[in-house]
Amino acid sequence: MPQVRAERFIRLDPETAFALSQTTGDFRLKWDPFISAQGFLDGATSAGKGVRTRTVSRMGLKMVSEYVSYTPPKNVGMTMVSGPWFFENFGGGWRFTPDDGGTRAVWKYTFSCRPAFLKPVAERIGSWLLGREIERRIEAFARACENPALVAELRSQGEGVPGTGVTEH
């Protein structure tokens, strides 16, 4: 199964970087160039293992994902429940590790394509396209982490990040 990966050094503590990465709704739109809408499903109000989200890309693609792991501030993993017809399966995850006074953030996608007869070509193209997209998204995330106003807004939103009142959602 193909995998694409992007990583950046973030000048924030892992708790805050994790919280920013897991924002949803209007706040997520402030930094994520890929989405046009994202939110929790089934009455959920915060992230956690088993929670489902619906994401709509700026290109109109829709995906319902489910958290398969959620371990703040270290990692999060999601898998596609339903989505674009050309994905046989799709998963994504973040990992955050302390690094030289900041955080090393790694974002990965793992996927496979269908139909079977197009799989070899579709997965090469998908690796290229998703590789570009994940780089674009993690770069936007890194810029958001460098934005003092955005980080201050995140910290003022709720409870969750120790000492800051941020909810991981």
Closest CA to 145 of 92, 93, 107: 107
Give this prediction's pTM: 0.89
Residue count of the chain: 169
Q: Are strands 102-113 and 62-71 parallel, antiparallel or unpaired?
A: unpaired
**Dist CA 141 CA 164 (whole Å):** 19
Q: So what's the pLDDT on residue 72? A: 97
Distance (Å, whole) CA 88 – CA 98: 34
Tens of pLDDT, residue by residue, the chain (169 residues): 999 999 999 999 999 999 999 999 899 999 999 999 999 999 999 999 999 999 999 999 999 999 999 999 999 999 999 999 999 999 999 999 999 999 999 999 999 999 999 999 999 999 999 999 999 999 999 999 999 999 999 999 864 443 333 433 3
DSSP class per residue in 52-107:
EEEEEETTS-EEEEEEEEEETTTEEEEEEEE--TTEEEEEEEEEEEEETTEEEEEE
Angstrom distance (rounded) from CA 127 to CA 117? 17
Neighbour order of strands in the sheet with 35-40: 3-10, 102-113, 87-99, 75-82, 62-71, 52-57, 35-40
Q: What is the pLDDT of residue 162?
A: 39
* Residue 7 CA: distances (Å) to CA of 36, 60, 142: 23, 26, 9
For residue 158, the model assigns a pLDDT of 61
